[in-house]
Amino acid sequence: MLDQIKFYQTGSNTIGNRLLNPSMRAIQASADRPNGLISGHRACQGCGEALGARYAIDAAMRATGGKIVVANATGCLEVFSTPYPESAWQLPWIHSLFGNSAAVGSGIAAAMKVRAEKNGDAVAPRVIAQGGDGGTTDIGFGPLSGMFERNDDVLYLCYDNEAYMNTGVQRSSATPPSARTATTQLVGEHPGADWGKGKDVPMIAMAHGIPYVATATVADLRDLEEKVTKAMSFHGARYIQILTPCPLGWGCASGVTVTVARMAMETGFFPVYEAEYGKITSVRKIRQKQPVINYLKLQRRYAHLTGKKADPNVLARLQALCDTNIKNFGLLGDDEPQLTPAAIQAYERSNKV
Ligand SMILES: Cc1ncc(C[n+]2csc(CCOP(=O)(O)OP(=O)(O)O)c2C)c(N)n1
Ligand code: SF4
Ligand SMILES: [Mg+2]
């Protein structure tokens, strides 16, 4: 038992609340509070993923009376929360492979259902599968689509930081165009990530017609909590994609994580909405519309677009992308969303101009 809290790495015995005398544990570690992810993890300062996971999982715990099991894909969230032999999770939690957390979630949900039926339990524990954007939009995409198609009783949470952060900031299918990553360098005629590539997984999830799909950001944590709570009121496949800025990969100060996420919403860069059975049911309106440059200039991954040598055509293209989102999702004033499931493909194409 350690008797002194240290907030720095000390080999394999780095501090974890579970190793501390109960009187020394952080208040968040109290068994009476629904704190799924507690102190002792090793996320970078200002990590949007740690913030998002904390609020999302706590909301799910509250909604289910603590009866949840979480399957977590490989990625920053898994790595920083479970430094062997410790864990910062205070709930049943399993590390799947990088690409199969949706499949592991599906399997657990099936097993829980059978067990509850056998035992005559009124309710079975609920299941959450989660992962980063790489694990979700790329390598885990097949199992995720299978989970949607079978309508398995799993809530999938994608923590979207728009690249493979844990392995050194490589491009994923969620990396926005023109962003610099380790694999989309500032070279050639079109520096940064290519245009015309990538996947809009919330839209793809909607096209599966599953009960509930939503997007959220860490700039509006109450909205995130409400969406997770609502997701837990449905059975069947559900999907929430949470924009979680990564100070390291995005090149922003650790103190502006929430500001950057808010700017992603206020520019229309990241539309925030929810949908039931393939139809948009609500959108989070822009409160104070911002030009895209105000979002870009907070991040060094876009430094080539904010200095004197910035290409005005690329900036205009990024602004057009935001404007298209604003129009399609009805993000301003009393505008209605224009997207229907049938229009999703057209939307996909229009965002790739
Ligand atoms: C099959 C397989 N391929 C590659 C890896 C290496 N790997 C571990 S984490 C990771 C990146 C995760 O990116 P993402 O899912 O976006 O999560 P983030 O770290 O950004 O939160 C990769 C490529 C692996 N663990 N397993
Ligand atoms: S690299 Fe990014 S996602 Fe990973 S722990 Fe650090 S801030 Fe979080
Ligand atoms: Mg990622």
State the number of CA atoms in the 13 A half-sphere of 320 facing the CB: 12
Nearest CA to ligand 1 atom 13: 164
* Distance between first and last Cα of the chain: 59
Which is it for strands 212-217 and 154-160: parallel, antiparallel or unpaired? unpaired
Q: Tell me what the mean pLDDT of segment 95-120 comes to.
A: 98
Nearest CA to ligand 2 atom 3: 246
Sheet order of strands, 154-160 included: 93-95, 68-72, 126-132, 154-160, 238-243, 212-217, 273-276, 279-283
DSSP three-state, residue 325: helix
Q: Which domain holds residue 66?
A: 17-350
Q: Is residue 309 part of a domain?
A: yes
pLDDT at 10: 36
245 lines ligand 2 (CB under 6 A): no
Separation of 316 CA from ligand 1 center, angstroms? Answer: 33
**CA separation for the pair 321, 264 (Å, rounded):** 12
State whether the Cα torsion 325-145-102-96 is positive or negative: negative
* Residue among 42, 45, 47, 164 to mutate when testing ligand 2 (max atoms within 8 A of CB): 47
201 lines ligand 2 (CB under 6 A): no
Which residues does 343 contact at the CB level (< 8 Å), separation at least 6? none
Question: Which position has the higher pLDDT, 151 or 340?
Answer: 151
Q: What is the pLDDT of residues 303-322, one digit of tens each?
A: 999 999 999 999 999 999 99
**Mean model confidence pLDDT for the chain:** 90
51 lines ligand 2 (CB under 6 A): no
Identify the burial level of 295 via C-beta atoms within 10 angstroms of its C-beta, where 0-12 means exposed, 13-18 middle and 19 or more buried. Answer: buried
Q: What is the CATH number of the domain that holds 268?
A: 3.40.50.970
* 109 conformational bin, left if phi > 0, alpha if psi -120 to 50, beta if neither: alpha
pTM (whole model) above 0.75: yes
47 lines ligand 2 (CB under 6 A): yes
* Residue among 74, 97, 250 to mutate when testing ligand 1 (max atoms within 8 A of CB): 74
**Position in ligand 1 atom list of the atom nearest CA 159:** 21
Q: Is residue 4 part of a domain?
A: no
**CA separation for the pair 108, 112 (Å, rounded):** 6
pLDDT at 34: 72
3-state secondary structure 62-129: HHHCCCEEEEECCCHHHHHHCCCCCCCECCCEEECCCCCHHHHHHHHHHHHHHHHHHHCCCCCCEEEE
**CA separation for the pair 205, 208 (Å, rounded):** 5
pLDDT at 243: 98
Could you tell me the two tokens for 205?
């999830």
162 lines ligand 1 (CB under 6 A): no
Q: What is the pLDDT of residues 181-193, one digit of tens each?
A: 999 999 998 999 9
DSSP three-state, residue 281: strand
43 lines ligand 2 (CB under 6 A): yes
Q: What is the pLDDT of residues 35-71, one digit of tens each?
A: 788 877 899 999 999 999 999 999 999 999 999 999 9
Q: Which ligand approaches the C-alpha of residue 254 most closely?
A: 2
Q: Which residues pair with 184 in a beta bridge?
A: 181
Separation of 135 CA from ligand 1 center, angstroms? Answer: 6
Nearest CA to ligand 2 atom 2: 246
Q: Is residue 10 part of a domain?
A: no
Q: Is residue 116 part of a domain?
A: yes
Which residues does 100 contact at the CB level (< 8 Å), separation at least 6? 73, 140, 143
**Position in ligand 1 atom list of the atom nearest CA 160:** 16
**Position in ligand 1 atom list of the atom nearest CA 246:** 20
Q: Is residue 80 part of a domain?
A: yes
Which residues does 114 contact at the CB level (< 8 Å), separation at least 6? none
**Position in ligand 2 atom list of the atom nearest CA 46:** 7
Q: In the chain, pLDDT over 90 holds for what percent of residues?
A: 79
pLDDT at 346: 56
Q: Is residue 102 part of a domain?
A: yes
Q: Tell me what the mean pLDDT of segment 228-254 comes to.
A: 98
140 lines ligand 1 (CB under 6 A): no
Q: Is residue 6 part of a domain?
A: no
324 lines ligand 1 (CB under 6 A): no
Q: Is residue 5 part of a domain?
A: no
Domain total of the chain? 1
